[in-house]
Structures are given as C-alpha cells and as structure tokens.
C-alpha cells in the first residue's frame, strides 16, 4: 500500500502554499493603488479583457469541490462521475444566450441593478438582496466547510485554523484590492489549476502509453466493465430533469458569476468572456474524469477511501504517486488557491449586495459620495468575511452536501426568473418581481428541507415529504408563474414607459455603464 505524506505539512507543500499567499498579497499591493473608486472596487474599473474575464469566470466556477470531488467520484463510482461533470457545464451556453449581454448593458455592479432598472427601487432591491445574499451564503457555507476539511486533510492543520487562514488571507486581498485583486487572483488560480490538472493527466496517461483505451482497459480489468457504464446516479428521469434545470439556470442566478460581467468594457467583451470560460471549464471537465479513472487503477479504490471516505483525495494521492511529495505539495497548494479564490468572489458579491443594493439604493436612496460608497463596501466586506469564517466554524462536521443543491435551487428560482422577466417583458411590475423572488427563494428552501437530502439524510425521518432531491422544476416554475400573475393584476405605468429606454440599452448598449 502507498504510504502518503498527505496530512503532514511537508516542506514542498508549505513552500508552494506560502508562494501562493505571497503572490496573492503582491497582487493586492499592486491592485490597492488602483482601487480608489466604487467602480474600481466593485468592477475593476471595467477594464478587464474578454480573455482575462473568461479565465476569472472559470476560476470562480471551478471550485475545489469540482476538482477534487469529481475526480474522487469517478475514481470510486466510475462512469457516474462523468455524468455529474457534464451537468456542471451546461449552464454556460444558457448564460450566454439569455443573460450575458443584456446584463452587461443594463447593470452597474449587481444583478439587482437590472431587475430594478424600471421598477420601484426599495422593494425590488430588498427582495433581490434577500435572493442574492441567500445564494451567496449557502454557497459560502459549502465552500468553507469543504475548505476546512480539505486543508485539514492535506496540511494536517486543525479545522478552525484552516477556516481562519482562508478567511483571513481572502479578507485582506478583497478588502484592499477589491475586484482588481480578486480578478487577478482568480486568473492565477485558473491558470494554476488548468495547468496542474493537465500535467497530472499527462503523467497519468503516460503510464498507459498515452492511450485512453488502455486506461479504460485497466479500469475494466480491475473493477469490471460496470465501471465504464452508467450506474445508479441517474435513475428517476424527473429527478434528473429537475437537477439539470437547477444546474443550467442556477448559474444564471449566481451573484458572484453575474457580477463579473460588469468588469468588462462592453457587451462584446462579455460575449467573448463566456466563450473563453466555457472552453476552459469544458476542457477541465473533460480531463478530470481521466484523472479519476487513473487514480482508481494506479492508487486503488481501497487506498483512496482509506484516506478519505468521500474519495476527495483521489487526485492528490495520484499526484503523489506519480510526482512524489513535491508534486503533491503543488497540487495541495493549488487546491488551497482554488478555495481562496472562490470564497473571495463570493465575499465580494455578498458585500456588494449589502452595500450597493441595501445601503446605497435603499438607505441612501441612491445618493452617496464616492468615499462613502467605498467605505461602506469595505465595511460590508469585513462583515461578510467574518460571517464566512463564523459560519464555517459553526457548520464544522455537518453534512453540507445539500447546500450546493440549495444554492443552485435558490439561484434558479429566486434570482433568474426576475432577471429574465425584467429584461424581456414590458409589463413586468414591482409586485411581480418581489413576489417572484420571494416565492422562488422560500419555496426552494422549504422543498429542500422536506426533500430526501435533508428530511431523510440529516433529520433522519423515514420518508421524505417531497420526493425530489432538487426542487428546481417546481420552485422555478412557481416563481415564473407568480411573477407573471402578480404583474398581470398590478399595473405600473412608469415601468412600461421606461421600457423603451431599457430596450435601447439592452440591445444597442446606448447609455450602458462605461
């Protein structure tokens, strides 16, 4: 059996780890000088290019859970892990076709800007902030708990210390470097992750004469042909359809992803960045299963589960086997950078919801000086960063697997319908937007609690009240219906009158923030 230095802080792991922290802090130092205005803090001054934003979007989306989790899933369950991987990509084309360009043209810093464009600011901003913050918080909890566990496993430091390190480093660079630092850390992380996994895949394939067929042959020989066939992951079509909807349209309601579109100069660059992001993420999800299959053959399922039952350590173990302790140190540090970058994107999105939507547009009715705006944005960042650390510690050892599903359910049910309707439908009203957001948010939370993932797995009841694992098909439909009905029974003359201005901006980009 392979002896592993996983869980002990080796020199190489510490060196790479410190290197990443130093690079992040250097970027922060460089970015801090360019972070004076609200536009720079929230949107990097709208100077990020399409390619840069594509990498940053990929960095925001390729979490440690998808890197380590999917490799682990493939190594233990074979083909089913691959089905899971495809689901994570399909939101990106939908984001491009339905939202990307109008979002860039209509908004300023948050997606609530778009929903509130023609509608009454106070109620819409509050509702959108509820949907936005809920999404960001649930995703943050999932990321922080995962971070604590992973860092504990890889570096052997205690859970609370791991959460504190992630929270602390992240807070420093978001606070001082704003969106500019966040974007560049995201880019560095994306390049490291794509590069690291590519090297790992090539080293793994070299063991099989660079022939995937030979790799699959070895998998089939060791674990039987069934490892290359679909197993139990997709059984009920309705469950699969509902999960697919959540994955596809949930992306279109993730505040930290949507926010990135305000960092590019125009709609054309927004379009380009999605093409790049889809390419990078797609490539990533195509090579990850190869790493997983190779780990199952070379490391072995018994060793993988011995180190971590979830299979999460399959990729690091493979890295150690093929490249020794230094390569393991590198991959572990990349995983750390991944967590750091994703949490920082989330923190910035959460903070902008509090400061831009609630403070500026509700409390201050849209008028505050540049200094006030930046100050409140920074205070919100600190609040959100501390909240992330506290939640991470609070949820230690809890089963948070449902949290990611909840994030995507709330995102596609609360944020996405109001966003789409506000772009395309002239008669959409304030009441429609508020009802659609609130019904989507609370219905998806309620149904997740009653679903097998919480009601049976966590609350230990015998049978779930709501049969589906992900409620998207019900909650998203309900949100659209309620938004439509509430708009039909209310009438908002000013909103209809402003639709011409909105169209001019949506389609021609006239008046878009520059």
Partner 1 sequence: MRSVHETLESHEFKSLVSRRWKISIGLTLALFVIYYGYIVLIALDKSFMAKKIGVVTTLGIPLGVAVIVFSWVLTAIYVSWGNSTYDPEVAVLKDQVTK
Which residue ranges make up the site for partner 1 (CB under 8 A)?
79, 82-83, 85-87, 89-90, 92-94, 96-98, 101, 212-213, 216-217, 219-220, 225, 228-230, 234-237, 240-241, 244, 248, 268, 271-272, 274-275, 278-279, 282, 285-286, 289, 424, 500, 503-504, 507-510
Q: Report the residue number, 150 or 248, with the smaller CB distance to partner 1.
A: 248
Q: Tell me which DSSP letter residue 224 carries.
A: -
Q: Report the residue number, 95 or 368, with the smaller CB distance to partner 1.
A: 95
Q: How far is the CB of 275 from partner 1 (least distance, A)?
A: 5
Q: Report the residue number, 289 or 432, with the smaller CB distance to partner 1.
A: 289
Q: Is the distance from CB of 173 to CB of 27 less than 8 angstroms?
A: yes
Q: Which tokens sit at 45?
A: 């001054």
Q: Report the residue number, 237 or 367, with the smaller CB distance to partner 1.
A: 237
Q: Report the residue number, 370 or 500, with the smaller CB distance to partner 1.
A: 500
Q: Report the residue number, 213 or 493, with the smaller CB distance to partner 1.
A: 213
d(CA 341, CA 325): 24
d(CA 477, CA 348): 30
For residue 193, CA distances in Å to 247, 277, 280 come to: 22, 14, 11
Q: Is the distance from CB of 483 to CB of 127 less than 8 angstroms?
A: no
Q: Which tokens sit at 232?
A: 């139990």
d(CA 234, CA 306): 26
Q: How far is the CB of 106 from partner 1 (least distance, A)?
A: 15
User: What is the per-residue burial (b if ≥16 Cβ within 10 Å, else e) of 104-127?
Assistant: bbbbbbbbbbbbbbbbbbebbbbb
Q: Is the distance from CB of 12 to CB of 329 less than 8 angstroms?
A: yes
Q: How far is the CB of 290 from partner 1 (least distance, A)?
A: 10
Q: In this structure, how many other beta carbons lie within 10 angstroms of the beta carbon of residue 232? A: 7
Q: Report the residue number, 79 or 455, with the smaller CB distance to partner 1.
A: 79
Q: How far is the CB of 498 from partner 1 (least distance, A)?
A: 12
Q: Is the distance from CB of 322 to CB of 203 less than 8 angstroms?
A: yes
d(CA 328, CA 316): 6
The gap from C-alpha 295 to its chain's centroid, in whole angstroms, comes to 26
Q: How far is the CB of 100 from partner 1 (least distance, A)?
A: 9
Q: How far is the CB of 284 from partner 1 (least distance, A)?
A: 10
Q: Report the residue number, 123 or 509, with the smaller CB distance to partner 1.
A: 509
Which residue, chain included where needed, has tokens 């200094």? 371
CB neighbours of 139 closer than 8 A, spacing ≥ 6?
A: 254, 256, 346, 403, 404, 407
Q: Report the residue number, 85 or 145, with the smaller CB distance to partner 1.
A: 85
Q: How far is the CB of 437 from partner 1 (least distance, A)?
A: 22
d(CA 267, CA 506): 9
Q: Report the residue number, 227 or 348, with the smaller CB distance to partner 1.
A: 227
Which residue, chain included where needed, has tokens 């509700």? 362
Q: How far is the CB of 245 from partner 1 (least distance, A)?
A: 10
Residue of 375, 353, 354 whose CA lies nearest to 37: 375
Q: Report the residue number, 223 or 384, with the smaller CB distance to partner 1.
A: 223
Q: How far is the CB of 292 from partner 1 (least distance, A)?
A: 12
Rg (CA), the chain: 22
Residue of 50, 47, 29 whose CA lies nearest to 39: 47
Q: How far is the CB of 104 from partner 1 (least distance, A)?
A: 12
Q: Is the distance from CB of 272 to CB of 51 less than 8 angstroms?
A: yes
Q: How far is the CB of 243 from partner 1 (least distance, A)?
A: 9
Q: In this structure, how many other beta carbons lie within 10 angstroms of the beta carbon of residue 309? A: 11
φ, ψ of residue 184 to 5 degrees: the values are -70, -35
Q: Report the residue number, 43 or 85, with the smaller CB distance to partner 1.
A: 85
Q: How far is the CB of 55 from partner 1 (least distance, A)?
A: 16
């Amino acid at each position: 059996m392979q002896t592993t230095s996983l869980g002990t802080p080796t020199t190489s792991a510490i060196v790479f780890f410190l290197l990443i922290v130093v690079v992040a802090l250097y970027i922060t130092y460089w970015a801090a000088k360019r972070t004076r205005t609200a536009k720079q803090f929230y949107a990097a001054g709208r100077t990020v290019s399409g390619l840069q934003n594509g990498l940053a979007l990929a960095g925001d989306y390729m979490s440690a859970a998808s890197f380590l989790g999917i490799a682990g899933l493939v190594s233990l369950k074979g083909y089913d892990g691959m089905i899971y991987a495809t689901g994570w990509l399909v939101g990106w084309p939908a984001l491009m076709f339905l939202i990307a360009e109008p979002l860039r043209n209509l908004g300023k810093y948050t997606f609530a800007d778009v929903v509130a464009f023609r509608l009454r600011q106070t109620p819409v901003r509050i509702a959108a902030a509820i949907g936005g913050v809920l999404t960001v918080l649930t995703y943050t909890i999932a990321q922080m708990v995962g971070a604590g566990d992973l860092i504990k496993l890889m570096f052997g430091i205690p859970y609370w210390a791991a959460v504190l390190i992630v929270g602390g480093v992240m807070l420093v660079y978001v606070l001082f470097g704003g969106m500019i630092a966040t974007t560049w850390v995201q880019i560095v992380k994306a390049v490291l992750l794509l590069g690291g996994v590519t090297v790992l895949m090539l080293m793994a394939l070299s063991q099989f004469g660079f022939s995937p067929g030979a790799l699959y042959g070895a998998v089939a020989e060791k674990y039987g042909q069934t490892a290359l066939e679909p197993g139990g992951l997709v059984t009920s079509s309705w469950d699969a359809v509902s999960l697919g909807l959540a994955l596809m349209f949930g992306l279109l309601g993730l505040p930290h992803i949507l926010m990135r579109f305000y960092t590019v100069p125009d709609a054309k660059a927004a379009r380009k960045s999605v093409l790049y992001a889809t390419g990078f993420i797609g490539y990533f999800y195509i090579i990850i299963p190869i790493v997983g299959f190779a780990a199952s053959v070379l490391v072995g399922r018994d060793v993988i589960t011995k180190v971590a039952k979830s299979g999460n350590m399959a990729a690091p173990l493979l890295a150690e086997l093929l490249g020794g302790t230094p390569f393991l140190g590198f991959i572990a540090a990349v995983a750390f950078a991944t967590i750091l970058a994703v949490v920082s994107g989330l923190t910035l999105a959460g903070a902008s919801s509090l400061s831009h939507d609630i403070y500026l547009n509700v409390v201050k009715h849209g008028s505050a000086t540049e200094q006030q705006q930046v100050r409140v944005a920074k205070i919100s960042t600190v609040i959100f960063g501390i909240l992330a650390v506290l939640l991470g510690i609070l949820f230690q050892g809890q089963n948070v697997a449902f949290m990611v599903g909840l994030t995507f359910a709330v995102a596609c049910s609360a944020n996405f319908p109001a966003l789409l309707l506000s772009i395309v439908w002239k008669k959409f009203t304030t009441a429609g937007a508020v009802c659609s957001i609130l019904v989507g948010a609370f219905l998806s939370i309620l149904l997740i609690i009653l679903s097998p993932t919480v009601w049976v797995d966590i609350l230990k009841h015998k049978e779930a009240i709501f049969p589906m694992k992900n409620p998207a098909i019900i909650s998203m439909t309900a949100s659209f219906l309620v938004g439509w009905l509430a708009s039909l029974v209310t009438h908002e003359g000013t909103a209809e009158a402003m639709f011409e201005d909105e169209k001019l901006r949506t389609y021609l980009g006239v008046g878009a923030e520059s």
